[in-house]
Structure 1
Amino acid sequence: MASTVLITGASQGIGKATALLFAQKGYDLVMAARQADRLEAAAQEVRSLGRKALAVPTDVTDPEQVKTLVHKALEEYGTIDVLINNAGCYISGPAESFSLDDWHQVIDLNLWGYIHTIHALLPHFIERKRGTIVNLSSIGGKVPVPYLVPYNTSKFAVTGLTEALHSELAPKGIHVCGIYPNLIKSSLMERAIFRGKDAEDAQARRDQLNQVLSTPVVEKPEDVAKAIWEAVKHQRSEVLVGSAKLSKASYSMFPGFMQWVFRKTFQLKDKEA
């Protein structure tokens, strides 16, 4: 019987690229995302590769929907071997410009979405004494970046969640891995939130990110998918993807200088006193 993988945020970007790669490697898929039409289209691509794909429209911020997702997955396949938490969003702006709704939106998706799937599927892994959990974090879960405070908060939390789970669950036969990419040329902008000193500042932040994503050196979703596959195949506990390695090394060696660079890059209208 084929191994199975459940992927959140699977309708586009990193999630879709990962689904297609795992299908090519012989896995059957459970694919979750909020937009049913895009999700089904991605599932059809997986099926065209000769693998099974169960598409379950799911908002991972809702624990009841996640319970239904896991129930349908186990009902369809009997077992799930790998969970890949990928759904997330990006937010940028001065710390004081974010509303509490902004904070909740980011943390509910980037952190609680992961907790909900882990909470729902972990008993299955514990019972089987095996399984793999992959959490998509970010270099923003290793390096603090000004003007990304809610995003950094959620991703540092994912890093802590991942490392603590790895420590506890490894003796129980369950492997936990964190994936840390830099910005990825994907559907990031669709769900991204931009705030600023005024509308012009918020738009400038959007334009700035668009410009960065248009450069040739920015990694693609397929690069992250390959990192995820290598992490699962070789039981890696942590993978920094491509340019994230340089970002982490630079910050480790020159933290003060890198913080100055980040501030100058991202402050825009938020001038220092």
Structure 2
Amino acid sequence: MSPTVLITGASQGIGKATAILFAQNGYNLVLASRRVEILTATAQEVQALGQKVLSISCDVKDPQQVANLANKALAEYGSIDVLVNNAGIYSSGTVEDFSLEDWHQTIDTNLWGYIHTIHALLPAMIAKGSGTIVNVISIGGKVPIPYLVPYSTSKFALAGLTDAMHSELKPKNIHVCGVYPSVIKSSLMERAIFRGKDAQDIEARRNQLNQVLSTPVVEKPEDVAKAIWDGVKNQRSEVLVGSAKLSTVAYSLFPGLMQWVFRQGFKQKT
């Protein structure tokens, strides 16, 4: 019987690349995303690889929708062997310009969205006596990044959640892995929050991210998918993707210098 993976944020980018890779390795899939039309297209593409696919519209911020996702997935397959938490949102701007709604949007998606899926699926994994949970985090959960404060807050929280769960659940044969990419050439712009002093500042932040995403050296969703597969196959507790390794090492050696570099890189108007 084929193992089953459930992937959130699965309609495009990292989620789609991960779905394709797992299908190529014999997994049946549960794909979850808010955008039904794109999710359906992705499901059809994955289905063409010969694996069974269940696609479910779900906003991970809503625990009831996540409970429905888990119930349908378990009813269809009986168990979920791997959960890949990937749905997320990027937020850029000066910390004082973020509204409470911005904070909630970021943390409710990036942190609570992961908690909701874990809460819904972990009991079945424990009852089965096995399972793997992969949390796609960010270099922003290893290195504090100015002008991305709500985003970095959510990612540091995810890093703590992942490490603590790894320690607690290992004796129960539940493997927990954190995957840490840097900026990825994906659909990040579509769900990003930009805030600033004025419209010009906001537009400058938007253009800045666009320029970074268009750089040839920026990693691709397929690079993160391979890291996720590595974490699952080799039972790694964490996997740093590409340039995230360099950023982490540089920050550990030269924290003051790296803080200055990030401030210069991410600030716009003073």
Report TM bin, short chain: over 0.9
Aligned twin of 1:47: 47
The residue that corresponds to 1:214 in the other structure is 214
Are 1:62 and 2:36 counterparts?
Answer: no
Q: Quick one: which amino acid aligns to residue 259 of structure 1?
A: Q
Tell me the alpha carbon deviations over residues 105-140 of structure 1, each in whole angstroms, 9 at most, x when there is no partner.
000000000000000001001101100000000000
Shift of 1:267: 1.4
Superposition deviation, residue 53 in structure 1: 0.5
SS at the partner of 1:216? Answer: coil
Which residue in the other structure is 1:147 paired with?
147
Which residues of 2 match residues 118-137 of structure 1 at below 5 A?
118-137=118-137
What's the counterpart of residue 20 of structure 2?
20
Letter in 1 for 2:30: V
Q: What is the identity, as a one-letter code, of the residue corresponding to 1:137?
A: I
Aligned to 1:73: 73
In 2, Cα distance between equivalents of 1:83 and 1:259: 34
Q: Which residue of 2 aligns with 1:167?
A: 167
TM superposition outliers: structure 1 runs of 4+ over 6 Å = none
Secondary structure at 2:44 match in 1: helix
The DSSP-based 3-state class of the residue aligned with 1:135 is strand
- Give the TM-score normalised by the residue count of structure 2: 0.99
Aligned match of 2:92: 92
Partner residue in 1 for 2:102 = 102
Residue 18 of structure 2 aligns with an amino acid whose one-letter code is: T
Distance (Å, rounded) in 2 between the aligned partners of 1:264 and 1:74: 48
The answer for the alignment partner of 1:254 in structure 2 is 254
| Structure 1 residue 79: Cα displacement | 1.1
Alpha-carbon distance between aligned partners in 2 of 1:112 and 1:213, rounded to the nearest angstrom: 27
Name structure 2 gaps, 5 residues minimum: none
User: Residue deviations 1:17-67, cap 9 Å, x none?
Assistant: 000000000000000000111111100011100001000000110000001
Q: Separation in 1 of the partners of 2:263 and 2:67?
A: 41
Aligned position for 1:29: 29
Alpha-carbon distance in 2 for matches of 1:197, 1:39: 36
Other structure's SS at 1:256 match: helix
Q: Distance in 1 between matches of 2:206 and 2:18?
A: 26
By how many angstroms is 1:265 displaced? Answer: 1.4
- The CA distance in 2 between the partners of 1:237 and 1:96, in whole Å, is 35
What amino acid sits opposite 1:87 in the alignment? A
Secondary structure (helix, strand or coil) at the match of 1:31 reads strand
**Residue 260 of structure 1, CA deviation:** 0.7
Shift of 1:266: 1.3
Q: Secondary structure at the match of 2:88?
A: coil
Amino acid at match of 2:60: V
1:28 aligned partner, one-letter code: N
Q: Shift in Å at residue 196 of structure 1?
A: 0.5
Secondary structure in 2 aligned to 1:143?
Answer: coil
Q: Letter of the aligned partner of 2:168 in structure 1?
A: E
Number of the residue aligned with 2:231: 231
- The percent identity for this pair of structures is 73
Post-superposition shift, 1:264?
A: 1.2
Deviation of residue 234 (structure 1)? Answer: 0.2
Deviation of 1:268 (Å): 1.1
Deviations 1:224-260 (A, max 9, x none): 0000001100000000000000010111111001111
Q: How many Å separate the matches in 1 of 2:149 and 2:74?
A: 37
Could you say what secondary structure the match of 1:210 adopts? helix
Letter in structure 1 aligned against 2:51: R
- For 1:193, the equivalent position in structure 2 comes to 193
Where does structure 1 lack aligned partners over 5 or more consecutive residues?
Answer: none
1:60-89: CA deviation from partner (whole Å, max 9, x where unpaired): 100000011010001111111000000000
- Aligned pairs, number: 270
After superposition, the C-alpha distances for 1:196-239 in whole angstroms (9 at most, x for unaligned) are 11110010000011001101100000000000001100000000
Distance, in Å, in 2 between the alignment partners of 1:207 and 1:136 is 25
Q: CA separation in 2, counterparts of 1:266 and 1:38? A: 31
Q: 1 CA distance for matches of 2:200 and 2:77?
A: 50
Tell me how far apart the structure 2 counterparts of residues 68 and 267 of structure 1 sit (CA, whole Å).
41
